[in-house]
A and B are shown apart, each in its own frame.
Chain A
Amino acid sequence: MHLGRDAVTGLGVLVFAVAYWLVADRLQVSLLADAVGADGVPKVLAVALAMLGALLAFSGWRAGPEPASAESVQSGAHLRAAGLLAVGCAYVVLMPIFGFALATWILIVVVAVYAGLAMSRNLVAIGAIAGGVFWFMFVKLLGISMPTGMWLELIG
């Protein structure tokens, strides 16, 4: 069975609404709660979302699957986006280890290459300068203590 995009989206929304309801239903009940309760508004939201999801799914189903138009995105595009996301996740994991300045340097070089720039000495140099500038802006100018990484611990 082929479903339109809207129908699938609607079903997805419906499932999410049910899951959200279930979590809301298990919220701790406090004696300090008001008549509406901590779960009151979330449950209203869940019901409204479920109804809208059903509505979207229904109208999407009635309209049938849309013809594969020229502007529909190929799955390769999603993969490329997922790649950038993976770089972002790697940054999240590695930044505390490498420290802010070095992580920024690596991030800039990696993303620029991923976005289609050829690896070059220039790029590495620009990344290094940028890492330094970012470090100066946030740590020195704004006075925020960014992670220094494990280098200090390794050296000292």
Chain B
Amino acid sequence: MGYLLRLLCVVGVLVPGALAAQPKYPVSTVTLVTHSSPGSGSDVFLRELIRHLGPEMGVNFVVDNVRGGSGATAVAKVARGPADGSMFYATTPTYIQTTLLSKPQFGYDSLDPLVTVFLDPEVVFTRTESPFKSLGDVVDYARKNPGKSKWGAANPGSLERIALERMSRLIGTRAAIVTHDGGGDLIINVLNGTLDIGVGEMQEIKAQLEAGKVRLLATLTEQRIDTLPDLRTAREQGVDLVVTKFRGLAGPKGVPDVVAAQWEAAIRKVLAKPEYKKVYDGENLVTALKGRAESRVFTADFAKEVEVTLRELGIIK
């Protein structure tokens, strides 16, 4: 019966695809590989994207969740995959960090960036009952009470974790930085007051925010988020901390430039569609469309920066 369902889905995507008049994409089925499990970050990103991108490109999309090895397995699959534009990997900073931390056979550099689509804003939050009203309060408290502050991040090797470590060095104090087994644990410890603050993606705390259980203190982006104009950046509050969490695609080496250009054009069109805009605005995703050339530079720079930070923190040698 699952087969039938799948058939229905395929038909559902194919029919509108066939109607769209577009320069023909070289293959009819494109597999998008993600390391994340169904329902979480990258998976949701891909599935919402293909819902709009399928008709636009006249292509049948399949999302393949290849888990394991902190993303290394998925990267390896795509790196060895066909370079005709039929297989891509959904990138996040994870694939760069895994490469640097565990040096798998196929790392981020065995893939060729295709496009960068979104930036996922990271925010600092606390519970509503907490005395901290701004990031400044948190900083003051941490400076006056070294070793007493308790900050939380979701996963041990995550960007958020590294950001908090950098924050404690930036403001020159010692804080307990607690890592968790994922976002859920972190939110519980913020809500029950075990932690002073937590750092995470907007998507993870949306429900708490709507219910008035958490307060946002700062966004760790370059500029304020369009959908939350009142939330000040960390920089504005005197902490020079920016965390870039990107979402994009990368393919095996050797994908023709024509294909890359088709992708960029199609995604540009889709991003402008009001019904898609409503979806990604709702998740507070910030559009950051970069074509192939730009994405290559962006990825290389990003990797260099992460490597330098990891080295400074003594995580890698």
User: Could you say which of B1, B2, B3, B315 contacts A32, with CB atoms under 8 Å apart?
Assistant: B315
Which B155-176 residues have C-beta < 8 A from chain A? Answer: 156, 161, 165
Q: In the complex, are the beta carbons of A143 and B2 less than 8 A apart?
A: yes
Beta-carbon contact of A30 and B2 below 8 Å: no
| Given A32-B161, A32-B165: A141 touches B313 (CB 8 Å cut-off) | no
Find residues 266-317 in chain B having any chain A CB closer than 8 Å to their own CB.
Answer: 313-315
- The residues of B that contact A142 with a CB separation of less than 8 Å are 2
Which residues of the partner chain A approach B3 to less than 8 Å between Cβ atoms?
140-141, 143
- For the complex, give the distance between the alpha carbons of A145 and B3 in Å: 13
Complex Cα distance, B2 from A115, in Å, reads: 35
Interface of B is mostly: mixed
Task: Tell me the minimal C-beta distance from A142 to chain B in angstroms.
Answer: 7
From 1 to 56 in chain B, residues with beta carbon under 8 angstroms from any chain A beta carbon are: 1-3, 6
Distance A140 CA – B2 CA, assembled complex (angstroms): 7
**Interface range on chain A (Cβ under 8 Å from partner):** under 10
B2 touches A31 (CB 8 A): no
Known: A140-B3, A141-B1, A141-B2. A31 touches B314 (CB 8 A): yes
A31 to B156, CA, bound (A): 12
> Among residues 20 to 73 in chain A, which have CB atoms less than 8 Å away from a CB atom of chain B?
29-32
Per the 8 Å Cβ criterion, residues 32-86 of B in contact with A are: 64
Report A-chain residues with C-beta under 8 Å of the C-beta of B315. 30-32
CB distance from A27 to the nearest CB of B (A): 13
Q: Hey, which chain A residues are within 8 Å of B6, CB to CB? A: 143
Q: Tell me the dominant secondary structure on chain A's binding face.
A: loop
Q: Size of chain B's interface in residues, with CB distance under 8 A?
A: 11
B130-161 at interface with A (beta carbon < 8 Å): 156, 161
CA gap between A111 and B309 in the complex, in Å? 54
CA distance A152 to B314 in the complex (A): 48
A142 to B1, CA, bound (A): 9
List of B residues within 8 angstroms of A30 by Cβ: 313-315
Rounded to whole angstroms, the CA-CA distance of A131 and B225 in the bound complex is 55
Task: Give the shortest distance, in Å, between A147 (CB) and chain B (any CB).
Answer: 12
| Complexed CA–CA distance, A143 and B165 (Å) | 42
Encoded as 1 (CB less than 8 Å from any B CB) or 0, chain A from 131 to 147 comes to 00000000011110100
Residue of A nearest to B157 (CB): A32
A29 to B165, CA, bound (A): 16
A142 to B314, CA, bound (A): 44
Chain B residue at smallest Cβ distance from A141:
B2
Determine the distance from Cα of A39 to Cα of B64 in the docked complex, in whole angstroms.
36
The residue that B313 contacts in the complex, of A29, A31, A140, A143, with Cβ under 8 A, is: A31
A143 to B63, CA, bound (A): 12
B134 to chain A, nearest CB (A): 27
Q: What string of 1s and 0s marks CB contacts (under 8 Å) between A105-142 and chain B?
A: 00000000000000000000000000000000000111
Alpha-carbon separation in the docked complex, A31 to B165 (Å):
10
With a cutoff of 8 Å between Cβ atoms, the chain B residues found around residue A141 in the complex are 1-3
| Given A31-B314, A32-B165, 8 other A-B residues pairs in contact with their CB atoms under 8 A | A30-B315, A32-B156, A32-B314, A140-B3, A141-B3, A143-B2, A143-B3, A145-B64
Supply 16 A–B pairs (Cβ within 8 Å), ascending by A.
A29-B314, A30-B314, A31-B313, A31-B314, A31-B315, A32-B156, A32-B165, A32-B314, A140-B2, A140-B3, A141-B1, A141-B2, A141-B3, A143-B2, A143-B6, A145-B64
